[in-house]
Amino acid sequence: MLRNSPLPAPFVALADRFADAVEPAQFPDQVLRFRNRRWANAIGLADLDDRQWIKHFGRFDPLPGNLPQPLAMRYHGHQFGTYNPQLGDGRGFLYAQVRDRSGRLLDLGTKGSGQTPWSRQGDGRLTLKGGVREILAATYLETLGVHTSKAFSLIETGEQLHRNDEPSPTRGAVLVRLSESHVRFGTFQRAAYLDDRDGLAALVDYCVAQFHPGADAPDMATKATNLLGHITRATARMIGQWMAAGFVHGVMNTDNFNVTGETFDFGPWRFLPVSDPNFTAAYFDENGLYRFGRQPTQGAWALQQLASALLPLAEADDLARGLAPYEAAYQQAFAAHTHHLLGLDSAGDLRADLTFLQGFYSWMTASGASWPQTFFDLYGGEASAGRMKASPQAGLYQAAEFAPVREALAARVALHVDRLSLPYFQASLPVALLVDDVEALWDPIAAEDDWSAFEAKMEHLETARLALAP
């Protein structure tokens, strides 16, 4: 049975200002390629059979007692530093709002579901490869414990699409993702741009009530400042996790940040093969604005734009205090998540942890060690000494340059030594998702409609998720 919010779905109250009712595309075919059974169970949709699933997530018939019609959300944003007032959901919409077992509000949003008033010259479609890439990225991030939207459904549509960056014609698909919120920094920017103070206040009220109740206050100025502080901490936490996971988002525009600090709007993403601060994911990011090492700075900049949008509601000095927690929150998240991925307890002192991180990541960069292999080999610290000796990069661990890192690892307590006996850690290679891995998964799908490698990768990711659970 669907676990749903009281009617109407909460976002309906904002829809007149921030969304347009739209009609989903009518696709010539619907072939179910992926359904997230674990998360379907979490929101009460596990009992849908394939026919019912396609009815709701391929044809987008409304879920019972939910939004009567999809809503394409309106927003603005800075794209590569340039403000763009012509944005909005151009190939997606908010399909439904549901609740998980704890009562947490979640959005079901689409990608590739057809044209909207914000499509501009786009066809409103998604390639099947693009859908497969998002499933892989979101699932891998969840495996690594990063706060992320979840790929919920992928249905092939029977359409042939033409794209400049893929061999064409290529197969079409429609993706559904599960997110805590689709309210973006750019949603606030649009209201500020239109001088809609009442709309800004309504957005603040909505975000506090649904996502950040701890930010509540009797007056709007304080509430807006408190909300900014909560979003600042959530964003800092997300980016700290990205940096520990070696994830490069690629397009950190302000319309690609949401108010819950959740990774979404996957585009030209990459995972690092080796530690490289200058690694750039998007071929069109010619100046490396969104390169790996610059992600913390860009996150702070995006938050500053959000703060500017809130100026009609609060004083600049107060909003500056809302931004103030960013650096400390980022450092804490980066340190905590690095320790999590290494299966180690922290030293209990942030300064000591940051000193360890500086030495560890400097060694990673200088040695050229494989990012995924290193975290796999070093899980549990000295408890994995035997695994280090058997590693494909055992020579790096025997070199003198590694000695200070090994000493620092040995000084930390392993938290989950028992997990080293799990099948995941008994293998010689970790789960990885480098660009060549993605292409190797896609090639048999494109050539022979063979999904076996993709399915095996998803099973490997689930094995890793269980082994790396907090």
Q: What is the DSSP string of 136-203?
A: HHHHHHHHTT--B-EEEEEEEEEEEE--TTS-SSEEEEEEEEEES---BHHHHHHHHHTT-HHHHHHH
CB-side neighbour CA atoms (13 Å) of 262: 22
Higher-confidence residue: 163 or 137?
137
Asked if 158 contacts 29 with a C-beta cutoff of 8 angstroms, the reply is: yes
Q: 19-21 and 71-73 as β-strands: parallel, antiparallel, unpaired?
A: antiparallel
Mean pLDDT of the chain: 95
Q: What pLDDT band is residue 436 in, cutting at 50, 70 and 90?
A: very high
Catalytic center residues: 255
Asked if 233 contacts 147 with a C-beta cutoff of 8 angstroms, the reply is: no
Tokens 């560890």 belong to: 360
- Backbone angle region of 31, left / alpha / beta, with phi > 0 → left and psi within -120 to 50 → alpha: beta
- Length of the chain as a residue count: 470
**Could you tell me which residues come within 8 angstroms of residue 193 by beta carbon, excluding any fewer than 6 positions away?**
76, 85
Q: Say what the pLDDT of residue 165 is.
A: 75
CB-side neighbour CA atoms (13 Å) of 5: 18
Q: What pLDDT band is residue 9 in, cutting at 50, 70 and 90?
A: confident
Mean pLDDT of 338-358: 96
Percent of the chain scoring above 70 in pLDDT: 98
Kindly tell me if the per-residue pLDDT of 280 is higher than 50.
yes
Q: Say what the pLDDT of residue 2 is.
A: 45
3-class DSSP state for residue 62?
coil
Kindly tell me if the per-residue pLDDT of 265 is higher than 50.
yes
Kindly tell me if the per-residue pLDDT of 3 is higher than 70.
no
Kindly tell me if the per-residue pLDDT of 5 is higher than 70.
no
Mean pLDDT of 44-50: 95
CA 27 from centroid of its chain's CA atoms: 28
**Could you tell me which residues come within 8 angstroms of residue 95 by beta carbon, excluding any fewer than 6 positions away?**
57, 60, 63, 67, 70, 108, 109, 110, 113, 176
Tokens 């022979």 belong to: 448
Q: Say what the pLDDT of residue 8 is.
A: 58
Q: What span, in angstroms and rounded, lies between the C-alpha atoms of 284 and 305? A: 23
Q: Say what the pLDDT of residue 122 is.
A: 87
Mean pLDDT of 53-69: 94
pLDDT, tens digit, 9 for 90 and up, residues 96-128 = 999 999 999 999 999 999 999 999 888 999 999
Q: Say what the pLDDT of residue 120 is.
A: 87
Mean pLDDT of 228-248: 98
Q: What span, in angstroms and rounded, lies between the C-alpha atoms of 13 and 317? A: 31
**H or E segment at 454?**
helix 452-467
Supply 345's token pair: 């307890």
Mean pLDDT of 320-346: 98
pLDDT, tens digit, 9 for 90 and up, residues 181-192 = 999 999 999 999
Q: Say what the pLDDT of residue 4 is.
A: 46
Closest CA relative to residue 69, chosen from 16, 4, 10, 20: 20
CB-side neighbour CA atoms (13 Å) of 100: 13
Q: Say what the pLDDT of residue 74 is.
A: 97
Give me the numbers of helices (H) and strands (E) for the chain, helices first please.
18, 12
Q: Is the dihedral of CA 455, 460, 462, 463 positive or negative?
A: positive
Q: What span, in angstroms and rounded, lies between the C-alpha atoms of 4 and 271? A: 35
Q: Say what the pLDDT of residue 368 is.
A: 97
How far, CA to CA in Å, does 312 sit from each of 39, 55, 184, 308? 39, 44, 18, 9
Residue 99 bridge partners (DSSP) = 105
pTM, full prediction: 0.96
Q: What pLDDT band is residue 361 in, cutting at 50, 70 and 90?
A: very high
pLDDT, tens digit, 9 for 90 and up, residues 251-264 = 999 999 999 999 99
Asked if 271 contacts 133 with a C-beta cutoff of 8 angstroms, the reply is: no
In the chain, the amino acid numbered 439 is: E
Q: What span, in angstroms and rounded, lies between the C-alpha atoms of 306 and 227? A: 11
Percent of the chain scoring above 90 in pLDDT: 94
